Amino acid sequence: MTHFSAQQEQVVQQDQMLPSEPPDDRFHRALLHDVHPHAWRNPKSAGKYNLVVIGAGPGGITAAREATVLGAKVALIERNFIGGDRLNVGCVPSKAIIRTARLYAEMRDADNVGAQVPGSIGIGFPTVMERMRRIQARLSRADSAQRLSEASVDVYFGEAHFAGPDTVEVAGDKLRFRKALIATGARPLTPPIPGLAEAGYLTNENVFNLTECPRRLLVMGGGPLGCELAQAFCRFGSHVIIAQDEPMFLPKEERDAAQILSNALARDGVEIHLNTTVVAVRVEGVRKVVDLVNDGDKFSVSVDEILAGIGRAPNVESLCLEAAGVRYDTETGIYVDDFLKTSNRRIYAAGDVCLEHKFTHAAEASAHIALRNALLLGRKRLSALTIPWCTYTDPEIAHIGLYVREAREKAIPVRTLTILMHDVDRAVTDGEEEGFVKIHVREGTDRILGATVVARHAGEMINGLSLAITSGIGLRDLARVIHTYPTQAEAIKMAADAYNRTRLTPTLKSLTRRWLAW
């Protein structure tokens, strides 16, 4: 019989409060039916596979589907749920609740666009989460185990590990392969903070299982996940405190973007603590008391829940990579070359398990390259990709290509064309004036090196610039592209027009004046 001290019992009670499973409703059951059917029977291994894919997240699914289209014999192994983080604990659930949170914010701000604020704005948090689960269930259909199987993919559920340089073992079956792709993704880092594990904390893996909105929530970390969810929960009515140990949010982004985000979070009511580190957590009654330090000044906050968003670790530990001769690091993941090949020439990797940029679209793009290189002797390079990304706060912050500091570190002379959203007609009519479009070009040319967009719909707007960079379209050509009026994406054309105006040197101006004087 195990004896607990009173304090330990308290800890256990707290830990038990954290939801490890979503509510067992029809939507969750429908999701499970697609992503990990209860009665699933793994197929009989039929000889050697052209490709074994470990991990059925966005990268793994992309590779498996493309390989079958090419006529390859493919096995896809998943230990948890098909769809990976994106569908189950990442982009899909977070964007679903962010949409609802945005609507609540719009209702409260209705008078700013000439509408009446509703008399009473009640937050139905269980309904918010139910809608999220409904959307997950709907989006799970496209790549369900059944659909993948029907597409000639052999779907295996179970923990996979390498049993040799050309063999993977899963659920007692040994699968031999000509090529393999590791796409096992990443998981939230465990913050080494005294008392945190005992008190229990949320990450992206369990926050979407909540059935009640925490009254007071501490968010640790001002990266994309922390900022997105801090804003969303604040809009659901939580008193949100965010502690970021850097002087600004999203430290990799433009300083001005971080400044605008900081303003937006503060306006929503998020209590912001920058340059602040969480040093300890303890449980007092039903509350979690968190000790923080800001430049030597110590203080404590009392909250109901703690959300940790401080980084991600690659899923490499249980794969027995040594057996296959695959080199890896537990922090940075599997070592790959520019062709995404590992130290075993038969084995490739893609997505979060090996990339610095841990995004769904990066996982899919890298899986596409890895697959072509593995099966078709391709020579496509990861470094040739230009990957945009977006943080889905309000306003959104999207980026592509080089930052100015990166260009200058490479001794590339750079200048920036900036258009403020408050100068874009559609942004003004929409009451969405916060933000900017900044396009960085190589000095003396119109070649786009990179861009940052901060706007309500920055994630949509960055795609036009992604097309321009990938296709080698410069600002002069962009200025010739007729954009629909009025749209917020017109800001991109306005930046191109601003560039054209700078080409009018004093000499040229003088010449045109003389010409027009006739």
Partner 1 sequence: MAESPAQSDEELLDRFQRAAFGYFLEQFNPENGLVADTSRAGSPASIAVVGFALSCYAVGVERGWMTRADAVARTLVILRFFWDCSQDGQADATGYKGFYYHFLDMKTGKRVWQSEVSLIDTTLLLAGVLTVSVYFSEETPSENEIRKRADAIYRRVDWQWARGGGTTVRQGWKPESGFLHYGWGGYDEAIILYVLGLASPTHPFPESSYTKWTATYQWENIYDYEFLYAGPLFIHHFSQAWIDFAGIRDRFMREKKSDYFENSRCATYVQREYARRNPFGFDGYGKDCWGITANDGPGFQTLKIDGMERRFLGYAARGVPYGPDDGTIDPCAVLASLPFAPELSLSALHHFCVRYPEMIRDSRLPSGFNPTLRGDGPSGWVSEGYFGLDQGIIVLMIENYRSRLIWNLMRRCPYIGNGLRRAGFTGGWLS
Report the residue from 173, 205, 246, 460 that binds partner 1 according to the rule CB under 8 A.
Answer: 246
Report the residue from 263, 300, 332, 429 that binds partner 1 according to the rule CB under 8 A.
Answer: 263
Q: Among candidates 387, 345, 346, 347, which has minimal Cα distance to 366?
A: 387
**Which of residues 116 and 484 has its CB atom nearest to partner 1 in the complex?**
116
Report the residue from 109, 329, 337, 338 that binds partner 1 according to the rule CB under 8 A.
Answer: 109
**Which of residues 445 and 502 has its CB atom nearest to partner 1 in the complex?**
502
**Which of residues 381 and 405 has its CB atom nearest to partner 1 in the complex?**
405
DSSP 286-347: TEEEEEEEETTEEEEEEESEEEE-S-EEES-GGG-HHHHT--EETTTEE---TT-B-SSTTE
Q: Does 21 bind partner 1 (CB under 8 A)?
A: no
Q: Does 275 bind partner 1 (CB under 8 A)?
A: yes
Q: Among candidates 223, 253, 254, which has minimal Cα distance to 418?
A: 254
Q: Does 445 bind partner 1 (CB under 8 A)?
A: no
**Which of residues 179 and 440 has its CB atom nearest to partner 1 in the complex?**
440
Report the residue from 43, 443, 477, 481 that binds partner 1 according to the rule CB under 8 A.
Answer: 443
Binding segment for partner 1 (CB under 8 A), chosen from 92-100, 369-377, 407-415, 465-473, is 407-415
Q: Does 211 bind partner 1 (CB under 8 A)?
A: no
Report the residue from 125, 157, 208, 436 that binds partner 1 according to the rule CB under 8 A.
Answer: 436
Question: Could you identify the residue written with the tokens 């040594």?
Answer: 322
Pairwise CA distance, residues 320 & 284, whole Å: 42
Enclosing H/E stretch for 138 = helix 125-140
E strands, 386-485, are 389-391, 396-401, 414-420, 436-442, 448-455
**Which of residues 131 and 415 has its CB atom nearest to partner 1 in the complex?**
415
At its nearest, how many Å lie between partner 1 and the CB of residue 250?
14
Q: Does 280 bind partner 1 (CB under 8 A)?
A: no
Binding segment for partner 1 (CB under 8 A), chosen from 209-217, 232-240, 394-402, 417-425, is 417-425
Backbone angles phi, psi at 143, to 5 degrees: -120, 45
Report the residue from 293, 313, 323, 412 that binds partner 1 according to the rule CB under 8 A.
Answer: 293
**Helices of type H across 252-313:** 255-268
Q: How many residues does the chain have?
A: 518
Question: Could you identify the residue written with the tokens 């959300």?
Answer: 307
Q: Does 412 bind partner 1 (CB under 8 A)?
A: no
Binding segment for partner 1 (CB under 8 A), chosen from 223-231, 256-264, 305-313, 315-323, is 256-264
Tokens for 314? 């690659």
At its nearest, how many Å lie between partner 1 and the CB of residue 290?
18
**Which of residues 159 and 246 has its CB atom nearest to partner 1 in the complex?**
246
Tokens for 47? 């000889």
Q: Does 17 bind partner 1 (CB under 8 A)?
A: no
What is the distance, to the nearest Å, from the Cα of residue 331 to the centroid of all Cα atoms in its chain? 18
**Which of residues 24 and 295 has its CB atom nearest to partner 1 in the complex?**
295
With H, G, I as helix, E, B as strand and everything else as coil, classify residue 275: coil
Question: Could you identify the residue written with the tokens 């303890």?
Answer: 282
**Which of residues 3 and 501 has its CB atom nearest to partner 1 in the complex?**
501
Binding segment for partner 1 (CB under 8 A), chosen from 105-113, 141-149, 170-178, 467-475, is 105-113
Q: Does 267 bind partner 1 (CB under 8 A)?
A: yes
Radius of gyration of the chain (CA): 25
Pairwise CA distance, residues 324 & 340, whole Å: 16
Backbone angles phi, psi at 285, to 5 degrees: 65, -125
Where does residue 146 rank: exposed (0-12), middle (13-18), buried (19+ CB within 10 A)? Answer: middle
**Which of residues 148 and 494 has its CB atom nearest to partner 1 in the complex?**
494
At its nearest, how many Å lie between partner 1 and the CB of residue 249?
13
**Which of residues 317 and 423 has its CB atom nearest to partner 1 in the complex?**
423
**Residue 217 in contact with residue 304, Cβ under 8 Å?**
yes
**Residue 461 in contact with residue 488, Cβ under 8 Å?**
yes
Q: Which of residues 487-516 bind partner 1 (CB under 8 A)?
A: 498-499, 501-502
**Which of residues 164 and 251 has its CB atom nearest to partner 1 in the complex?**
251
**Which of residues 164 and 413 has its CB atom nearest to partner 1 in the complex?**
413
Q: Does 414 bind partner 1 (CB under 8 A)?
A: yes
**Residue 88 in contact with residue 78, Cβ under 8 Å?**
no
Q: Which residues pair with 452 in a beta bridge?
A: 399, 438
**Residue 251 in contact with residue 258, Cβ under 8 Å?**
yes
At its nearest, how many Å lie between partner 1 and the CB of residue 272?
12
Enclosing H/E stretch for 471 = helix 458-471
Number of residues that bind partner 1 (CB under 8 A): 39
Binding segment for partner 1 (CB under 8 A), chosen from 172-180, 258-266, 365-373, 507-515, is 258-266
Q: Does 266 bind partner 1 (CB under 8 A)?
A: yes
Q: Does 313 bind partner 1 (CB under 8 A)?
A: no
Tell me the three-class secondary structure of 49-114, residue by residue. EEEEEECCCHHHHHHHHHHHHCCCCEEEEECCCCCHHHHHCCHHHHHHHHHHHHHHHHHHCHHHHC
Question: Could you identify the residue written with the tokens 């290189």?
Answer: 373
Q: Among candidates 342, 101, 304, 77, which has minimal Cα distance to 212?
A: 304
Q: Does 272 bind partner 1 (CB under 8 A)?
A: no
Q: Does 112 bind partner 1 (CB under 8 A)?
A: yes
List contacts with partner 1 (CB under 8 A): 109, 111-112, 245-247, 255-256, 259-260, 263, 266-267, 275, 293, 295-297, 404-405, 408-409, 413-418, 420, 422-423, 433, 436, 438, 443, 498-499, 501-502
